[in-house]
Amino acid sequence: MIRLSICIPTYNYGEFIGQTLDSLLPQATSEVEVIVLDGGSTDNTTEKVAARQRNYPQLSYHHQDFRGGIDRDIEKVVSLAHGQYCWLFSADDIMAPGAIDKVLAAIESNCDIYLCEHDLCNLEMEPIGKYPPPFNGLSHSRLFDLVDSSQRAEYFRLARTSEAFFSFLAGPIFKKTVWDSPNIPDSFRSTCWIVAGHLLSMIPLGITVQYMGETLLSKREGNDSFSNGSMVNRHRITIEAFQHVANVVFGEHSEEAFHIRRVLQFDIPFRALLFSKLKAAEHPETEDINILNRIARMHYTDPSLSNRVKYLLYKMASPIFLKAAFGFKKWLRNTWA
């Protein structure tokens, strides 16, 4: 019986996937399978995986001759899983020692979703620090029964980052039956947030979420494949696309959608939009100022004094002022380093 399926969608990550597999395969017991779905890689991904299949028969590899896109590839790799639970994993992250044993022990309690944390590393996997926890004021494990309206409201109020809402690929470990249950709108498959789409869609039906309060992996920063070389496009995906998922699942004017918009302001802070506005002025060929203006308006749409002030300052900030301000900030940092 397979209790846990570790599902890895990948595309041209041959440079990294060997290190990822080496961090998790030695931990895999007979109750664990590891599935790699290759969405049409043209690099040496096949060779990297094949070299490890010889020693680990629980590793399976599926190669597509086409790029399905991240959302459809995630759905495909989960559909190949045989486990009671699935843990989606990026092909460039590193699993912490003992992580699989901790997950196997946790899922004994039979919750619908388990939520873990991660450390941040640079491109060479040198530690940067711990990513902020997904909830405010929670320093230990906590079970939320989202059937209960008061616990559900508390869950959304406590959320600090969008990882509380399943934005990080490897954050949630979930029952496959939970993933398979909701009828997902096809529009979610062009958002890059299909994981959040599936799991958030189950909240109105009532699920249990166990916040584990444990760090189970290290995430490689500086290797974002979503942006396509555009900072504005990355912000569009975070703000516009995630808001679309929230609005469809809960309704635009719901308390849940409000809290999702709130935590997205943590993920994309005010200074990030100002810096993007400067880059749009300097590189209009890659950074679309019209898209940035649209998502800035969406980002600060809720009627609060803070939002009104930030949006007004965003609109008033000229490229000349922004260049001077960011240059001064850099000078201060270098002077006092």
By three-state DSSP, how is residue 145 classified?
strand
- What distance in Å separates the CA atoms of residue 14 and residue 91, rounded to the nearest whole number? 9
Q: Which fold has domain 4-220?
A: Spore Coat Polysaccharide Biosynthesis Protein SpsA; Chain A (3.90.550)
Other CB atoms closer than 10 Å to residue 234's CB: what's the count? 18
- Identity of the amino acid at 115: L
- What distance in Å separates the CA atoms of residue 322 and residue 292, rounded to the nearest whole number? 15
| Positive/negative CA dihedral, 260, 261, 262, 268 | positive
User: Are residues 111 and 208 in contact, defined by beta-carbon separation less than 8 angstroms?
Assistant: yes
pLDDT at 337: 64
Run means of pLDDT, 10 residues per run, the chain, 337 residues: 96 95 97 96 94 95 89 96 97 97 97 96 90 91 96 97 96 96 91 97 95 96 76 95 97 97 96 96 95 97 96 95 89 78
pLDDT at 320: 94
Start-end ranges of CATH 3.90.550.10 in the chain? 4-220
pLDDT at 68: 80
